[in-house]
Amino acid sequence: MRFGEYLHSSMIKEYHPFYIAYDELKKSLKTDYVTPPTPENTKPARREWTEDDEKAFVTLLETELEKVFNYQKRKSEEIVERIKESEAEVTDVISRLERATGNRRESVSFPPPTDDDFLLLEQTLSDIIADVHDLAKFTQLNYTGFQKIIKKHDKQTQWYLKPVFAARLNAKPFFKDNYDAFVVKLSKLYDLVRTKGNPVKGDSSAGGTQQNFVRQTTKYWVHRDNITELKLVILKHLPVLVFNASKEFEEKDTAISSIYYDNPDTWELYQGRLKKTEGAEAIRLRWYGGMESDQIFVERKTHREDWTGEKSVKARFSLKEKNVNAFLDGRMTVEQVFDKMRKEGKKSLEEINDLEQLAREIQYRVITRRLVPVTRTFYHRTAFQLPGDARVRISLDTELTMVREDNLDGRRRAGNNWRRMDIGVDFPFSQLPPEDIDRFPYAVLEVKLQTQAGQEPPQWIRDLTASHLVEAVPKFSKFIHGTATLFPTRINLLPFWYPQMDVDIRKPVSQHYGIRRPIASTSVSANDEEDSDDDDSPQTEQSHENGFANHLGDDSRLFTETNGNELDIEERIAAQPLPGDEDYPLYDSDDEYMYGSYFSDELEEARHIGGLYYANQLAKHYLKVTGSLLAAGFWAVIPRPRATEMPPPEQRGIQVLGPHQRSFKRFQAPPGKRIFVPVRVEPKVYFAAERTFLSWLEFSIILGGIAATLLNFGVDTVAIASSWAFTVLAAGALVYSLFLYIWRVDKIRKRRDVKRVYYEKWGPTIVSVGLVVVVLVNFGMRIHAGGFMAGKPGVPLPVPGNGTRHGEL
């Protein structure tokens, strides 16, 4: 859908006169025709863009900017006033409730509030929440509209207005209004009303008193257009977790910065966290708020496989900022770190011993493995949780940014310090060069649950995660993504979500889910004239649900039968059978062969080790490549039936349904890179491979027994030939199964996502066909030799002395 159509279909009736006049601005970009249109030439040339045209366009653009800015400012002030009024009303109702419950005499003159009073307050707050949602959508649409029209202007007229108009936008920054303060205030009021003056109380500190906490975590991406709506949806069920309620809200209070450590020669922590190997660790230093924060948390995250019966755990201890360098270098002992804690006596001796053991292990790993800072992550976190209750915790990380902290290329970013000091929490960090920073395009939603075995999460969470507001990305890691992005020349193994960064994650809007008023606002519709510019192409804009489904025809059921992540678009398409290729892999890097060369994990590891070991592995690598190329060339010249070539777009790929046609999408790793697809490996996988090998072995023994019987008791050439045939078949099956078992165990150990690990279609087929051939040949040879005629009426039995030995009767 083009932006003009999307703008009209998304307009709210109340806000309609104050939206950007996108159609009028677009028409003003078209000058008069040089000659009038004729039936032969319906689109004659237009005159060139002049300075007068530019002045007229800029004047109209300034008028539209002033209109949008003033209305957004007025509505924002109205919302602030309405929140203050509601706060006064809620305070009055709560005070009446406290007086009624605390003093029976006063309850006579001051009756307690009724359920209707709380219901009325909840409706009022819900209306304010809807206003905040509408204003955020209004702001987002208009900001996008100004960006679109400026881009269209510069492209059509060749008069570059973008740099100049950026200054005008900053002078009237209607799009920079921060709605987090609204969310925090509304969350507090809504929680008071929802609980009828009895909000849950408890420790609101980060993690409470726990040092080690275990959660089941699922992660999602959230498009920037849906961030405010998502926050407003969640606050109706969970309050915003405020660590210091007595302090006025500031944006830097939600800032979280983390610095991850790794060995840049081996990238062992990156590799371990990416492959999810048992016991893989991530070591980071984290602080909350600005750079002036003096409390630094030293954390270690350890991954545990499910089959071990343990859960992945995060453990941490706090350290003064001035002591970080000395602790990491080993100049400060663990005993010195916790000496003050022991003297204060606020923690038990057992807790202090556990923390000392954790600190000792982290310090040992940093020093012995030569770990250095490599990647910093920064984001603003909005946490939703009942204070003191960690059963359900939802966090939304916005403005996610990854920054390089290393000194690998000769630039002393951090120097000898544990972190660089030229940046703080001043997003978007415009002072940094592009190669030092990666601004993540989405927000990251984490849903953390502590539920008992077999217990389902709350229904509202299930509805939220299945809605159009989020896109599920299991096992997403800020550290892994940032490291892979910031070190493209050093990291060759990429996470599985990496190719999806170029895919628009927005989905058709679920009309039954989200922030809705009791009486829905009427959308304004209008016809947008034909526009062929690339920036308004369907790939770049959100498709309206009805129009999107109409374009799909019969295949629209793929998108409308279920919602969101219950089966999202990619999963629904992947579930459909593909023409002529049932075994199509989702990612190119599942194959061993890539871009004309073989990629080997062992070779990459050997390169880091170096020496004679690397030379031997390199020689084996080239020998393998040469043998494979020779075999491929020999197979190509052998005369044989050839398969019919299919057109390239439809030969191999995933069907992607576009608004006008069926196309094919295949995620492909960049040249020289490989995408790591996570593979779940449990002990039962090894046992299954062993059972399969034993089944092959049993089959081979049976065939060998048949061959031995024929060889020992057969006397004619038919029996001898059959025994040899069964012997060759049994030996071939035995050798094949042995090598297949060894190969499978090796691939399982390396967590390689190779299809033959889980099924094998050629081996059983060849053995079955060979068995059928041997039996039929044996049957035919026996008939030809006349062996089946013996013993029938009219056929004499062989007798001794007639060319047959006595024992053969």
Residue 664 inside a domain? The answer is no
pLDDT at 483 over 90: yes
Tokens describing residue 588: 């190119």
**DSSP state at residue 578:** P
- The beta-strand segments (E) located in 603-722 are 654-657, 662-665, 674-675
Domain of 751 in residue numbering reads as 683-808
At a CB cut-off of 8 Å and minimum separation 6, what does 154 contact? 160, 161, 162
Q: How confident is the model at residue 371 (pLDDT cuts 50, 70, 90)?
A: very high
pLDDT confidence of residue 404: 93
pLDDT at 305 over 80: no
Residue 319 inside a domain? The answer is yes
Note whether 152 and 96 are same-domain residues.
Answer: yes
| Percentage above 70 pLDDT, the chain | 72
d(CA 141, CA 154): 20
Note whether 23 and 134 are same-domain residues.
Answer: yes
Q: Position 485: which residue type?
A: T
Most confident of 47-61, 360-374, 408-422, 742-756: 360-374
Catalytic residue among 152, 236, 478, 747: 478
Question: What is the rounded average pLDDT of the residues 747-765?
Answer: 70
pLDDT at 205 over 50: no
Note whether 171 and 284 are same-domain residues.
Answer: no
Q: How many CB atoms lie within 10 A of CB 683?
A: 10
pLDDT confidence of residue 46: 78
| Domain end call among 174, 190, 206 | 190
d(CA 688, CA 694): 10
Note whether 334 and 482 are same-domain residues.
Answer: yes
Query: Three-state secondary structure along 424-487?
Result: CCCCCCCCCCHHHEEECCCEEEEEEECCCCCCCCCHHHHHHHCCCCCEECCCCCHHHHHHHHHC
Note whether 376 and 414 are same-domain residues.
Answer: yes
Give 556 or 436, the one with higher predicted confidence.
436
pLDDT at 262 over 90: yes
Evaluate whether 665 touches 502 at the Cβ level (below 8 Å): no
* Long-range own/partner contacts, residues 667-672 (CB < 8 A, 24 or more apart): 667/499, 667/500, 667/586, 667/587, 667/588, 668/499, 668/587, 668/588, 669/494, 669/499, 669/587, 669/588, 669/589, 669/594, 670/494, 671/595, 672/492, 672/595
d(CA 540, CA 503): 10
pTM score above 0.75? no
* Long-range own/partner contacts, residues 655-658 (CB < 8 A, 24 or more apart): 655/573, 655/576, 655/578, 656/573, 657/552, 657/555, 657/558, 657/559, 657/573, 658/538, 658/551
Note whether 250 and 173 are same-domain residues.
Answer: no
Half-sphere exposure of 456 (CA within 13 A, CB side): 6
Note whether 186 and 218 are same-domain residues.
Answer: no
| Domain end call among 429, 461, 486 | 486
Q: How confident is the model at residue 221 (pLDDT cuts 50, 70, 90)?
A: very high
Q: How many CB atoms lie within 10 A of CB 88?
A: 10
pLDDT at 601 over 50: yes
Residue 634 inside a domain? The answer is no
pLDDT at 590 over 50: no
Note whether 481 and 424 are same-domain residues.
Answer: yes
Note whether 262 and 348 are same-domain residues.
Answer: yes
Most confident of 97-106, 612-621, 666-675: 612-621
At a CB cut-off of 8 Å and minimum separation 6, what does 269 contact? 260, 261, 262, 263, 280, 281, 282, 283, 371
Residue 711 inside a domain? The answer is yes
pLDDT at 132 over 80: yes
Element at 808 (helix H, strand E): none
pLDDT confidence of residue 752: 66
What are 322-368's pLDDT values in tens digits?
999 999 998 988 888 888 888 887 788 888 888 989 999 999 999 99
Residue 546 inside a domain? The answer is no
Of 66-75, 138-147, 309-318, give the lowest mean pLDDT range. 309-318
d(CA 316, CA 87): 39
Residue 262 inside a domain? The answer is yes
Give 734 or 205, the one with higher predicted confidence.
734
Question: What is the rounded average pLDDT of the residues 560-589?
Answer: 39
What are 379-398's pLDDT values in tens digits?
999 888 887 666 788 999 99
Residue 624 inside a domain? The answer is no
Note whether 186 and 227 are same-domain residues.
Answer: no
Q: How many residues does the chain have?
A: 809
Name which of 167, 226, 185, 1 is nearest 91 in CA terms: 185
Split into its structural domains, the chain has a count of 3
pLDDT confidence of residue 595: 35
Q: How many CB atoms lie within 10 A of CB 25?
A: 21
Residue 659 inside a domain? The answer is no
Tokens describing residue 496: 């599985």
Instruction: Give the three-state DSSP class for 315.
Output: strand
Tokens describing residue 233: 């949806």
d(CA 550, CA 659): 8
Beta-ladder partners of 379: 256
d(CA 233, CA 608): 50
Average predicted confidence (pLDDT) for the chain: 75
pLDDT confidence of residue 325: 92
Task: Judge whether 55 counts as a catalytic residue.
Answer: no
What are 703-745's pLDDT values in tens digits?
888 888 888 877 777 788 888 888 888 888 888 888 888 888 8
Note whether 225 and 334 are same-domain residues.
Answer: yes
Q: How confident is the model at residue 623 (pLDDT cuts 50, 70, 90)?
A: confident
Note whether 219 and 291 are same-domain residues.
Answer: yes
Question: What is the rounded average pLDDT of the residues 758-786?
Answer: 80
Give 201 or 683, the one with higher predicted confidence.
683
Name which of 376, 382, 405 is nearest 478 in CA terms: 376
Given the DSSP bridges, would you call strands 674-675 and 493-494 parallel, antiparallel or unpaired? parallel
| Domain end call among 471, 486, 501 | 486
Name which of 732, 733, 734, 711 is nearest 721 in CA terms: 711
